[in-house]
Structures are given as C-alpha cells and as structure tokens.
Structure 1
Amino acid sequence: MSQRLALTLALAAVVATPAAAQPILRPAPGAPTTLTPAQQAARAIYQEMVEINTADSVGSVTKAAEAVAARFRAAGFPAADIHLVGPADKPAKQNLVVRYRGKSGGKAILLLAHLDVVQAKRSDWANDPFVMREESGYFLGRGVADDKSMAAILTANLLRYKQEGWVPERDLILALTADEEGGDANGVTWLIENRKELIDAEYAINEGGGGSLGPNDEPLFHSIQAAEKVYSDFTLTVRNTGGHSSVPRKDNAIYSLAAALLKIQQHTFPVELNDVTRPFFEQTAKVEMPSLAAAMRALAANPADTAAARIISTDPRYASMLRTTCVATMLQGGHAPNALPQFVTANVNCRIAPTSTASQVKAVLERVIGDSSVKIVGDRADRRDGPPAPIHPVLLRATTQLTNSMFKGVPVIPTMSTGATDGYRLRAAGIPTYGVSGIFSAAGETNAHGRDEKLRVKAFYDGLEFLYQLVKQVSGPGRPLS
C-alpha cells in the first residue's frame, strides 16, 4: 500500500485540525463601512473571480477569463483589443490579454496577474473555499490573497479608467494568465513563445510586493519585488529487493530515506546576499526592533557574520531571504503492511537563492546525504534569471510618493520574494518585472496556499486605490516616460 502526505518535518506526527472547526480571526481594523461606486464595482469583480474554481485539473481558468472579457466588451473595449488565447489542446487554460490604447507616447506597461489558484478541498475548509465570505474585517476564500485580489484590482481599475474617459500616454496591457501555481500550460510562457507582441512592454507590474504591518497593525514598510528565489523540486528515491517483514534487514528503504530527509532538515545553506537583499536589510534596519536592526546592519556589511545571521533567522519573515532553503513536502512508499518496502520516494522542494543554481544545490544535497542508495533527480534544468535589476526610476518615484501620502511615509524597500511568481519568466524574456501592490498584511496572516486563505478588507481597498493612482502616475499624461 502506498500513501502520499504533506510533511512539516520528516516522519513527524501531524494532528489535523477538524475540518468543521471555524477559523479564529482576530478582527482586522479599518474596513470601510460604506463603499464607493468604484469599491462596489471592484468587490463584484473580486467575488466573481474567487467563486470560479480555477485550480489546475479540476477548475477552468478559461471560465474566469471569459467572465472578465465580457466585462471589457460591455465597457466598450474594441473586440480587436480583447484576446482570449492559449494552447489549442488546453481549452480550460486560456489566457486573457486586454489592451487599453493610450496616446502612443511610449512603450506599453504590462499589468500582470494570474487567475489560477492552488487546489482547495471542500473537506479541508470550514466553509466552501469557492464562496467568498467577509468576516471580522477579512475576505476569505481560495485566491483572495493569491492572486485574485491583484487580478480584480487591475481589472476594476482599467474599467474605471475607461468609464472616466481617462487616456494614458502609453498603452496599458492587462494579462490574466493560467498555471502560475503549477500545471502544464503556464500562460506567461505560452504568451512569450507564441504571442509576445500582445504583452511586450517596457516593464511589468506584478504580484510579489506589498506592505508589512507591525505588531500594532501600523504600516512598517512597503516593498517592491525586484528579484525572487528559484523554485526547484527534487525527487529522492530508494529502491531495494524488499522481502518479508518478519525478517528485517539493515538496508530498509524507508529508514534510508528517513535518514536522508533528516540530514536535509539539519543542513543550513550559507548566506547569499545580492543587490536586492543587501539594501533590503539595510533599509529594514531603520524600522525594525533594535536587536534585529543591529543584526541586519551587521550582516549587510559582512554576509559572513554568522551571529548576525542567526539572530535574523529567528524571524520567519526574514530567515528564508538569507539563503537557499530545502524542505520535504511529500512522501510515498511501501506496498504491503507485512512486507519490507521495495520503493520509497520523497519530494524535496527547494527555493534557491538567485545567485545559485539547481545543479549546485543538487550537488550539496548529495554531499549532505552521503548515501549512494538515495538517488536524487531534479525536475528541471538550471533557471537563468540574470542578475537582479535596479527598480525603474519612474516606478520607484511614484511608489515612494504614493506611499508617503497613503501609508504615513513608511520606507519603500526593494525585496526578493521567497516564493515564485511569473516575473522571472518575463525578466528572462527582456521585460523587467516588479511586484508592487499597496496591499498591506501582517506576517503570515493571509495563509495563501493554505486552509481558510484570507485578506484584510481594508488592504484590498487600499490596494485598489494605490494601484489606480500608481498606474496613472507612471503612464498618464504630463509625465516624463523615463
């Protein structure tokens, strides 16, 4: 008998929270009591998106894309500027690209969000994950944080520009895509390879950035994502001839794999700072608590300062920004309860610092494990993102000005995402991509990819207004284009 299960630690016993249990929400302050017409319109789009299941295999991105396309047609966008495109053999994986014509004052700006979401089983959630709820100052439902908030905001704002009759200097391109979270039909890759002219732009605004809230729900800093770690899965496999369970043998495949996973758990990769993370720690030190601030300054000055790295690593918000991380996520093995295992395998998910490669990490795992019976196979070739690029000066200036006016002047800081986005695909294709949103949250509270995913109601409407103003500033009349 074989089984697959999520791991938090290799071979650790997991006590599951009953699915019927209601999520405990600390009320999030500041949600508006009365919505403006623009907020009402955005909320309706948001709810429509969330309530269409767009998870890989069981859902349809095309259904959501068609619903959005209908809104643009109803708003008077020309049919020639609304494109529902994707692989012909993937009818549920079509992407929507909409062009809002400007005055031809410069190369377009791309507004990117993905419509697909991570799978959510009804039995795992307290309520239906594909029914958006509003409770205690939060929106709840699969995709409310990742990434349908961004998709709804960008859609609503483009429709609002059209309704208001505002025309930018340059074209704006909205791309809502498939399979960012996984699957075999990544929309950005397909567009780059097949219809790059639809999305070619000076730069793109994407997910991956946003604001951080401190202990008292006060804005701490606002980040612009300018780099991201490299996603890579490794499959660890142990095989042997097995046998009768009444006659145990020393080379039990499960024990060999378990020992390998524990060695990975205990290994710490070295600190790898880059041109984004170094200034991130320098700037964040200005707003963090004294002990963390001192460690951040010390590490930025000397990445070999192990004491400083140890202090920073106590905070999960910053720990994985320091280095490559690898963690076991899935396990499968055995064929009968009364037989020695003949085959066991585990998935180890690595988020690799952009200054390293998957082949280098694979070599480290082989050295750390030190057991030739454990075979390691990577799922892809080395990804080449290029070095992190400076943030576009116009975007940085506009983000800073808006942050000063909307969020009490907290610092704007470049950041490297520890998760993956489609930004790396665009960067590799020559389109610089920056994550910026105006959406603020406390560390870990959204539970994106997890059960009862949520986003603050106030954060959604703040992001709506922030991106409405930001896109106007970087693309509107009367501003220099560079």
Structure 2
Amino acid sequence: MSLKKLACSACLALLASQTAAQADETHARKAFEIYKTIVEVDTSKAQGNTPRVARYLADELIAAGFSEEDVRVVPKGEFATLIATYRGDGSAGRKPILLLGHLDVVEALAADWERPPFTLTQDAVNYYARGSIDNKFGVAQLTATFIRLRREGFVPDRDLILAFSGDEESGMTTTRMMASEMPELAEAEFALNSDAGGGDLDSNGDAVSYKIQAAEKTYATWEITVRNPGGHSSRPRDDNAIYELADVIKAIEAHRFPVMWSEMTLSYFQNIGEQLGGELGETMVRFAYNPDDEHAAERLRTEPSYVGSTRTTCVVTMLRAGHAENALPQSATATVNCRIFPGVKAADIQAELEAVVANSGAEFELLTEVTESPISELRADVLSAVSKAVHSRHPDLRLITYMSSGGTDAMHFRNAGIPTWGVGSIFMNPDEMYAHGLNERVPIKAFDEALDHWSIIIRELTGAG
C-alpha cells in the first residue's frame, strides 16, 4: 500500500474515532439532561405530576425523530403512562420486546433529608435525590438509549416498546392497564424491566455479581381487627381489645412459615454462598444442596437480606386502637404485610394466619388486590444479550437469577403471560442503596458506566449485535 493510501486510511480511522467519541458524549449529555429534569419533578402519588413527566419524555422522543403516532401519553385517573414504539423492519418475524420502568416515586419529607430531595445535587462520589435510583435512573437511561439509537439510524428487526407506568409505588393501576388492557403490549414476546436486577459491588468498589430478577413474591396486606364492648377506663375488665390483639401479634411473630425453594432459589444460594464465603456463605451452600437442613434454614431466617428467599414472610407494620384515653378500647387493629412465595395462594396464607391466631373473633380484611405471578424461566437469547452488556464492563462476572422479595411492575406482566426479567443497568454496593429511604443516591461512576448497557442488549436481541 502506498504512503498516500496509508495516510488516507489513518485519517479516516481518526475521523471515525472522533465521530464515535462525539456521539458518545452527545448521548451522555442527553441522558444526564433527561435524568436531572425528571428527578427534579416530585412524582409522588399526591402530586399528580406523572402526566407532566410523561409529556416531557414524549416531547424528547418526538424531537429525536419518533412519530407522534408512536409516542403516546395515556392518562389513568391522576396518573399517566408513556408508551413509545420504536418501529422495526419486521425481518425477524417476531413479536415486540417491552422495556419497563416507572415514572413515580415514594414520598420524601424534605425536613428529614440532608439535601433537598427534589433537586439533583452531588458530591465527589454520588448524585442525590428522591428517585435517583428508583426508578428514574432506568427511565432516563432507556429514553436516552432510544434517542441515541434513532439518531444513529438503527433499525431493529422487530418493534421495541417503552412502557413506563405512573403509579408503581402505590396502586399499580396504570401497570394493570398496560398489562391487561392494551392489546399492542399484550402481544409482546417478553419484557425487560429497568426497575430490578443489576450489579453488586463490594466495599472496595469491585464487582462481585450481576443479578437477573426472574420472579417476585406475591404482595398481600391484611388488617386484623379485634372488637369489644369497651366501657369506662375506671372499670377494667378481663377482656380487652388491645390485650387480645397483642396476643394475636405475638402469635404471628412466633410463627414460622414452611421453608420453600425452587431450582432458581437454590442456584441463587449456591452462587451467592460461594461468592460470599465465611460462615454465612457456607450456610447458603449447605442450604442449596439440602434445603431440608433445618439448621441452615433457621440461620438464613435471621438474615433480613435473605430470609425472603427461603419462605413466605408476614410482619405487623401498623397499629390502630382505642378511641379515648379514659375509655376501654372498643376495637384494635393490626396491619399485617405478607410477601408470599410464588405458587402459594393468598387465601392459603390467610387460612394459615387464622389458624395461628386461633381467635374466632378476629376479623381478617384483605386490603390489597393480590397478583400472583409465576417464575420466568430465563431464555438463552436474553442471557446472552445481558451477559454481553455486563461483560463489556466486568469481564467474566457471574450472572445469577434471583427472586425479589419486593414487588415491581413485572408481576402484572408475568401474570398476563409475558415473561419478564429485571436487568437493570446500575452497579453499586447494596449497603449504600437508599431507595425509598433518606438521602437516596447513585454513584456518579455508576451512571456513566451504565450508558451503553441498554443499547448493547437491544442490538443483541434484535439481530444487529
């Protein structure tokens, strides 16, 4: 090759490199702009601001070239969802992929925070704000990825659909609407959720695992009420509603639901145990090989981070009793929140609680609409795509499927027959994660390193890897 051609090739390579760097910088700026804008809008349930955020995101997508027909803000009561379709060429002959997130956040009392909860602030390490993790991190990353891919001229081999709910943190009415009342979403082959999964870092900042959420426990809340004729406080009687309720509460506290497992949870404990080591890690491995090991199960029961993966749990979370300081209580009520192992009916848990309480006068009222969702068995193509995204940052890192003790929008999509996996893009130390808590935060490094996560997964899954 002549020196002139070599020089020309070098110039073209340099130009391509500079262009790619500029495109990456443009994507980073847009992702942060979207992130900051939506974090600084209070979208807790009483504020009515999810339509505002949905409209802002819709305008950003339309400005990037998406048609107005493909970007919809759908109201539901005081909330709203965003449905945005990235049209594919249909060459795969396959159904769409849903990409999930939620626009709302839990309340934040500014007086309790060290920083203003609805202003994005930062120090040398973290961004701080309510929703900085849950789930505006995922919403911003997904929206910016759609904009990035459109500007790059990318055409997927099937449709991709953003489905952002408006009240995941409260009633999930918008989620049920999307999962059950929108035919275009019900036709999806599967869904990927930005509000679950992700990587764990140790105290040194080293990546130790990446977890894919494949199941969730069923959420159910009961009120248990004991009633009594009451009377004057100067004339105490042997039967007292508060004392009787206390017996109910102590019986629930003492009860142990049976140990349960699936192939997924046993694999999870084996992997986490081998990674963790020490006495607790060895216990996990013993449990993985023999879930009938009562000593191992009891040891895991004492670990709040892991007990939910071994059994159904029920805990008293609120109390309400009496009507006057100088009157005997006429009623006493305890709120009991349960996280039920997949495959177990809420009605069976109520029956078990009734037997445990052993009080025929105790009234049980189910407060929640129960959604019982199955385990989503992991697919090879999804695992391969997520592995490529994860290993682009942390080569050879172990990927582990798990069951979440909490609840996300995914339960409704799984319940509707759409396999769903949580494959969030964030890596951080779980001990430093304050979602729903004070001074919620995200490492700045974690935000920057997540910028390519969704584009890698999307390209891999749509034949353009």
Normalised to the residue count of structure 2, the TM-score between the two structures is 0.89
Query: Which residue number corresponds to residue 116 of structure 1?
Result: 104
Matched, 1:37 2:23: no
Where do residues 67-216 of structure 1 align in structure 2 (5 Å cutoff)? Answer: 67-87=56-76, 90=77, 92-104=78-90, 105=92, 106-183=94-171, 186-198=173-185, 200-206=187-193, 207-216=195-204
Q: Name stretches of at least 5 consecutive residues in structure 2 with no aligned partner.
A: 1-23
Name the CA distance, whole Å, in 1 between partners of 2:141 and 2:412.
Answer: 22
| 2:274 aligned to which of 286, 289, 309 | 286
Deviation at 1:371, TM superposition (A): 2.2
- SS class of match (2:263): coil
2:79 alignment partner, SS class: coil
Match of 2:38 in 1: 49
Contact 1:109 1:475 in 2 (8 A): no
Structure 1 residue matching 2:274: 3-state secondary structure: coil
Compared CA separation, residues 136 and 366, structure 1 to 2 (3 A): farther
1:260 partnered with 2:248: yes
| Aligned equivalent of 1:301 | 289
Gaps of 5+ in 1: 1-34
* Residue 460 of structure 1: how far off its partner (Å): 2.3
Which residue type is aligned with residue 392 of structure 1? R
SS of 1:437 mapped into structure 2: coil
Matched residue SS, 1:317: coil
Read off the aligned partner of 1:338 and give its amino acid letter: N
Aligned to 2:3: none
Q: Is the 8 A contact 1:252 1:341 kept in 2?
A: yes
**In the TM superposition, what is the alpha-carbon distance from 1:286 to its structure 2 partner?**
2.7
State whether structure 2 residue 341 is matched by structure 1 residue 341.
no
Q: Give me the whole-angstrom Cα distance separating, in 1, the residues matched to 2:343 and 2:113.
A: 38
Letter in 1 for 2:450: G
How far residue 202 of structure 1 moved from its aligned partner, in angstroms, is 1.1
CA shift at 1:405, angstroms?
Answer: 3.1
**Structure 1 residues 139 and 251: alpha-carbon distance in aligned structure 2, compared to 1, 3 A threshold:** farther
Within the alignment, does 1:465 sit opposite 2:452 as a pair? yes
Match of 2:390 in 1: 403
Q: Is the 8 A contact 1:437 1:463 kept in 2?
A: no
SS in 1 for 2:221: strand
Structure (1 or 2) with the larger CA radius of gyration: 2
Match for 2:80: what amino acid?
Q
Deviation, structure 1 residue 172: 1.1
For the 8 Å contact 1:129–1:142, the answer to whether it is kept is yes
Q: Counterparts in 2 of 1:292-371, with a 5 A limit?
A: 292-371=280-359
Deviation at residue 319 of structure 1 after TM alignment: 2.1
Take 2:352 and 2:66, find their aligned partners in 1: how far apart are those partners? Answer: 53
Report the count of equivalent residues. Answer: 439
TM-score, normalised by the number of residues in structure 1 = 0.86
Q: Secondary structure at the match of 1:127?
A: coil
- Corresponding residue for residue 4 of structure 2: none
> What secondary structure, in the 3-state scheme, does the structure 2 residue paired with 1:286 have?
helix
Shift of the 215–270 alpha-carbon distance from structure 1 to 2, 3 Å rule, reads farther
Aligned 8 A contact 2:101 2:135 in 1: yes
- 1:377 is paired with a residue whose SS is strand
Q: Percent identity?
A: 39
TM-superposed deviation, 1:467: 2.0
CA offset at residue 85 of structure 1? Answer: 1.3
Please tell me whether the aligned partners of residues 39 and 461 of structure 1 are also in contact (alpha carbons under 8 angstroms).
Answer: yes
Aligned partners of 1:200 and 1:441: how far apart in 2? 34
Q: 1:115 offset after TM fit, Å? A: 0.6
Cα separation, 2, equivalents of 1:278 and 1:99: 38
Counterpart pick for 2:439 among 449, 452, 468: 452
Q: Is the 8 A contact 2:230 2:327 kept in 1?
A: yes
In angstroms, what is the RMSD of aligned CA positions? 1.9
Contact 1:86 1:191 in 2 (8 A): no
Give distance in 2, aligned partners of 1:264 and 1:250: 22
The letter for the 2-side match of 1:180 is E
Runs of 4+ in 1 over 4 A off after TM superposition: none
CA distance in 2, matches of 1:394, 1:167: 19
Which whole-Å CA distance do the structure 2 matches of 1:261 and 1:112 have between them?
Answer: 38
In structure 2, the CA distance between the partners of 1:290 and 1:113, relative to structure 1 (3 Å rule), is: same
Q: Tell me the alpha carbon deviations over residues 128-170 of structure 1, each in whole angstroms, 9 at most, x when there is no partner.
A: 3221222341222211111111111101111111122222222
Summarize deviations over 1:393-435 as a string: whole Å, max 9, x none: 1110122233233124221011101100111211121211000
SS in 2 for 1:316: coil
Going by fraction, where is helix more abundant, 1 or 2? 2
**Quick one: structure 1 residues 383 and 188, their matched pair in 2 at CA, closer, same or farther if it must change by over 3 Å?**
closer
* 171-180 or 274-283, larger mean C-alpha shift: 274-283
* In structure 1, C-alpha distance between the alignment counterparts of 2:166 and 2:318, rounded to whole Å: 24
Aligned partner of 1:8 in structure 2 is none
CA distance in 2, matches of 1:135, 1:349: 37
Equivalent in the alignment of 1:426: 413
Cα separation, 1, equivalents of 2:370 and 2:148? 42
Deviation at 1:382, TM superposition (A): 5.5
More divergent stretch after superposition (346-355 vs 307-316): 307-316
**Which deviates the most, 185-194 or 102-111?**
185-194
Contact 1:237 1:375 in 2 (8 A): yes
Cα distance in 2, alignment partners of residues 239 and 54 from structure 1: 39
Secondary structure at the residue paired with 1:263?
helix
Q: In the TM superposition, what is the alpha-carbon distance from 1:314 to its structure 2 partner? A: 4.1
